[in-house]
């Protein structure tokens, strides 16, 4: 498992014996499942209408494609970023516990949410040459034990048969994004990513993978690097969007 490094073995061991209980509410569930029916239904799905570019849901009776206030006045370098869920309630809680609580087995329900983004018309039936996870800085990956985006991309790669390539890296340490507003985030992210040495993405169709889209700035910066290196198209799929 290439995405996994330095992880305390306990969560993995317990994950072998754990399920049969819903990870959302602890109800008993069938073997091989992670969420019970009511938790699956409680996960806040994004319903149309939503922004064609960043998937921000919009309330109202809009039927044509539109750009939302989150992205109409900015340059987002990805062609579209797709999420099937909002980062609220159970979705937000499980993504957070997966990322920060070392509950490694939560990659499965969170990975399921990423997979559901693939059913969206913007991604379904489209050709992708490679899946590329948003990288973590090595120091942060050591501290966390894994890169959650790489684990999610690995699960999706197994499922859809598109190769996973860890070709982006953090060029420098960026402070935690959540403390910044949007323009500060952009400044903080400027030149934060680069292609690994000897990587060629010319003429490739890339699907970026991350756990959550917040403002879209991180995915946009990754997409910019890939497009400047010759990628034909860069779309993104995440488990959830803020
Ligand atoms: Zn449940
Ligand atoms: Zn938008």
Distance 75 CA to ligand 2 centre (A): 11
What does the pLDDT read at residue 5?
45
**Per-residue CA distances from 77 to 81, 145, 195, 224, 239 (Å):** 10, 30, 16, 5, 20
Distance CA 36, CA 123 (A): 27
* Ligand minimally distant from the alpha carbon of residue 25: 1
Cα–Cα dist 98/77, whole Å = 28
Taking residue 108's Cβ as centre, other Cβ atoms within 10 Å add up to: 19
Ligand 1 centre to CA of 34 (Å) is: 8
Mean pLDDT by runs of 10 across the 242 residues of the chain is 48 55 92 92 93 88 72 91 97 96 92 97 96 93 92 98 97 65 70 94 98 95 97 98 95
Q: What letter would DSSP give residue 74? A: S
Give residues whose Cβ lies within 5 Å of ion ligand 1. Answer: 22, 24-25, 27, 36, 39
- Residue 119 has a pLDDT of 96
Residue 1 has a pLDDT of 45
Q: How many angstroms does the Cα of residue 160 sit away from the middle of ligand 1?
A: 27
pLDDT, one tens digit per residue, over 58-113 is 877 666 666 788 888 889 999 999 999 999 999 999 999 999 998 889 999 999 99
> What per-residue confidence (pLDDT) applies to 65?
66
Q: What is the pLDDT of residue 171?
A: 85
Neighbours of 123 (CB within 10 A): 17
């Amino acid at each position: 498992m290439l995405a996994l490094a330095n992880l305390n073995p306990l969560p993995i061991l317990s994950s072998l014996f754990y399920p049969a209980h819903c990870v959302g509410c602890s109800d008993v569930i069938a073997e091989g499942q992670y969420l019970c029916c009511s938790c699956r239904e409680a996960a806040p799905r994004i319903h149309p209408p939503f922004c064609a570019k960043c998937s921000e849901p919009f309330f109202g009776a809009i039927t044509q494609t539109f750009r939302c206030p989150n992205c109409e006045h900015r340059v987002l370098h990805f062609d579209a970023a797709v999420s099937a869920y909002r980062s609220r309630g159970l979705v937000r809680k499980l993504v957070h516990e997966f990322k920060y609580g070392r509950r490694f087995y939560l990659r499965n329900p969170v990975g399921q949410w990423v997979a559901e983004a693939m059913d969206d018309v913007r991604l379904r039936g489209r050709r992708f040459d490679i899946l590329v996870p948003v990288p973590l800085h090595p120091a942060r990956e050591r501290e966390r034990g894994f890169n959650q985006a790489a684990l999610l991309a690995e699960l999706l790669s197994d499922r859809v048969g598109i190769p996973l390539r860890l070709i982006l890296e953090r060029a420098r340490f960026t402070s935690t994004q959540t403390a910044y507003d949007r323009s500060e985030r952009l400044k903080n992210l400027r030149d934060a990513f680069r292609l690994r040495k000897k990587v060629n993405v010319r003429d490739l169709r890339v699907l970026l993978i991350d756990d959550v889209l917040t403002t879209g700035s991180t995915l946009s910066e990754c997409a910019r690097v890939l497009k400047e290196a010759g990628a034909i198209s860069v779309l993104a799929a995440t488990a959830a969007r803020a």
